[in-house]
Chains A and B, each alone.
Chain A
């Protein structure tokens, strides 16, 4: 669940490559999140294999999903989030099973993460985990402390759901993600309710929680907060771990005195895994297997983690990751934090629609 920033820098080289090489070269069409790979990953693969990579990017699971559902997307490899997206896609039969004979590096993958995917992908036949992260709270340390005092713990959903606290933070700016599933699960966690309950009553209760703080929320957006946190225009944001950390790094690079921190709320936060999949109708599944196998090399995936600030699923690569990243509790959370993480249960289609419609109603104030 990696969001936005600049897709353009990938667009340009891939356009150049398209025109520069002969059309009869073997091609691999990759569709990945923007800013979700290191700068030289693709070029190195091309050099090693002679396969020409056409690399496109997206900024939401929904866009990828719409292309896959429509069929003949033309892509050989995609990177959806495992739950609820890849789960649904397996049910809908959108992926082809992997040929594990072609994935000699599969042993490098963390068995715990593979195991965590086994309930949606029996025998790990379709999915190879790529990166993972959490959805929590990013905040402006100085300003939030000024308003709430030094006593108040900040690793709590109260920062975005407790009307009394959010009212105090209003002037300084609070944002929620524009994502029904993420917000409703966080709201259920805040109220100590079952986060796997997507019944009408549970959805309504979550909607009421959001409704109560809505007047104090500056905006609902899933990527805008990166810039605003970094500039000091926003105090508290509900967002993806890597994105908040990106905001933190941008602020410290800019030297504007803004200190951003990321917290995994103690009530529990969503942990998500993005996976690699080969669509059923992929034109060149063979090259896709080679690319997956290439990405499973520790010396390839470690620099990607260093670059994108998300933890990879490759156990053999952990030692190769920069110490600064490896020791960052926001990227590789300590064991006690991991215990509190929530694995999203895939809602039924009907429930998902109820949830999204309820979300549209809440945020538009209908």
Chain B
């Protein structure tokens, strides 16, 4: 995405706006985090050492400390947490797609006057605070909560289900909260799908489920990818949902960062974790882009 020299200046300017935005609100803060991740913790305000230190009048020295990254790679705790986050993010994304796809499909295929109300139903919960919605799940899932009382009242179970403070509660909370992020982009792709393609396929004797597999699904892949990324990436760093609904045995990066930052006051290590998380998230997408581009080049 390089700016081509031949472009008119007005267009350059327009393209420069998002780049400027990215630099100001993504790159710059990340550089701060990176800087802290290379320093050493100390008991002071702020609780880390400056990279550039004055030794004696006028002479300065640059101290870069890689030991935080070394600890992250050597101590199995951090890699387990990365794995824990990957697992929760992966499984949640899968469930979001499994539930969200039929929802988006149904809305896109429903009569026109129904679509707006149905979409509103997806969006409406967002008008309530995120925290309140997660707290509501505590009320539903806890030992003597709504769900258990209902099931026991109906005589379906004898003793309450232990869902609160388990990984299942985390999955329920995450899937519930992130579902709209899958439904909306999928809906946007499915609504633009050219229905004449399906008609043509039907005319040529293609069965409905095969039409779906061969035409609808491949054409909705951009929506699937966008939705997955909107779920997967934030869940990797999710802290609130596992903290409120999960038990202490839910090991995820977000919680570990909290511990390093708050309990250990080790801002440098917390920053290294943040940098590691970013790399773990960006690298696959950079590689994906790279292979896509090579595939494009090969096909032309």
**Chain A residues with a Cβ under 8 A of chain B:** 60, 62-63, 65-66, 68-71, 88, 91-94, 178, 180, 219-221, 231, 233, 280, 349, 352-353, 356-357, 360-361, 363-366
Q: A88-B43, A364-B248, A364-B251 are in contact. Are A356 and B76 (CB under 8 A)?
A: no
B262 touches A71 (CB 8 A): no
Of B44-52, B101-109, B184-192, which binds chain A? B44-52
B45 touches A93 (CB 8 A): yes
Apart from A220-B248, A363-B248, what are 8 other A-B pairs with CB-CB below 8 Å?
A63-B262, A66-B262, A71-B45, A94-B45, A353-B264, A356-B259, A363-B249, A366-B77
Nearest CB of A to B235, in Å: 18
Residue from A60, A63, A93, A219 within 8 A of B248 (CB atoms): A219
A65 touches B262 (CB 8 A): yes
Give complex CA distance A219, B169 in Å.
Answer: 14
Shortest Cβ distance from B165 into A: residue: A219
Give complex CA distance A328, B210 in Å.
Answer: 75
Residue from B41, B80, B143, B261 within 8 A of A366 (CB atoms): B80
B43 touches A349 (CB 8 A): yes
Give complex CA distance A180, B262 in Å.
Answer: 13
Q: List 12 A-B contacts (CB under 8 A).
A: A63-B262, A66-B261, A66-B262, A68-B45, A70-B46, A94-B45, A219-B165, A280-B45, A360-B251, A365-B249, A366-B77, A366-B80
Give complex CA distance A66, B266 in Å.
Answer: 10
Contacts of A361 in B (CB 8 A): 77
Nearest CB of A to B73, in Å: 15
B45 touches A357 (CB 8 A): no
Q: Is B247 an interface residue (CB 8 A)?
A: yes
Nearest CB of A to B88, in Å: 13
Nearest CB of A to B75, in Å: 7
Residue from B144, B247, B249, B263 within 8 A of A356 (CB atoms): B263
Q: Is B265 an interface residue (CB 8 A)?
A: yes
B77 touches A357 (CB 8 A): yes
**Chain B residues with a Cβ under 8 A of chain A:** 41, 43-47, 75-77, 80, 143-144, 165, 247-251, 256, 259, 261-266
Contacts of B43 in A (CB 8 A): 88, 91-92, 349
B263 touches A62 (CB 8 A): yes
Nearest CB of A to B44, in Å: 5
Once A and B bind, how many residue pairs between them come within 8 Å at the CB atom?
A: 69
A221 touches B77 (CB 8 A): no
Shortest Cβ distance from A181 into B: residue: B263
A349 touches B248 (CB 8 A): no
Contacts of B250 in A (CB 8 A): 364
Q: A356-B264, A360-B259, A366-B251 are in contact. Are A69 and B77 (CB under 8 A)?
A: no
Give complex CA distance A363, B256 in Å.
Answer: 12
Among A178, A280, A352, A366, chain B packs the most CB atoms within 10 A around the CB of A366
A349 touches B249 (CB 8 A): no
B77 touches A349 (CB 8 A): no
Among A60, A62, A91, A360, chain B packs the most CB atoms within 10 A around the CB of A360
Q: A62-B263, A356-B264, A365-B249 are in contact. Are A93 and B44 (CB under 8 A)?
A: yes
A360 touches B144 (CB 8 A): no
Residue from B80, B247, B251, B262 within 8 A of A62 (CB atoms): B262
B265 touches A349 (CB 8 A): yes
B256 touches A360 (CB 8 A): yes
Give complex CA distance A62, B265 in Å.
Answer: 8
Give complex CA distance A280, B77 in Å.
Answer: 37
A180 touches B46 (CB 8 A): no
Shortest Cβ distance from A352 into B: residue: B264
B44 touches A364 (CB 8 A): no
Shortest Cβ distance from A91 into B: residue: B43
Among B44, B144, B248, B266, chain A packs the most CB atoms within 10 A around the CB of B248
Contacts of B77 in A (CB 8 A): 357, 360-361, 366
Nearest CB of A to B262, in Å: 4
Contacts of A70 in B (CB 8 A): 45-46
Give complex CA distance A69, B43 in Å.
Answer: 9
Contacts of B47 in A (CB 8 A): 69, 92
Nearest CB of A to B115, in Å: 38
Give complex CA distance A69, B41 in Å.
Answer: 12
A178 touches B248 (CB 8 A): yes
A69 touches B45 (CB 8 A): yes
Q: What 10 pairs between A and B have smallest CB-CB spacing?
A: A62-B262, A364-B251, A220-B248, A363-B248, A92-B43, A353-B264, A69-B47, A356-B263, A71-B45, A364-B249
Give complex CA distance A364, B259 in Å.
Answer: 13
Residue from B44, B143, B266 within 8 A of A353 (CB atoms): B266
Contacts of A353 in B (CB 8 A): 264, 266
Give complex CA distance A267, B18 in Å.
Answer: 63
A366 touches B76 (CB 8 A): yes
Give complex CA distance A180, B264 in Å.
Answer: 11
Nearest CB of B to A200, in Å: 14
Contacts of B165 in A (CB 8 A): 219
Give complex CA distance A363, B265 in Å.
Answer: 20
B45 touches A92 (CB 8 A): yes
B248 touches A69 (CB 8 A): no
Contacts of A94 in B (CB 8 A): 45
Shortest Cβ distance from A279 into B: residue: B45
Nearest CB of A to B169, in Å: 12
Among A69, A94, A231, chain B packs the most CB atoms within 10 A around the CB of A69
Contacts of B80 in A (CB 8 A): 364, 366
Among B144, B249, B250, chain A packs the most CB atoms within 10 A around the CB of B249
Shortest Cβ distance from A66 into B: residue: B262
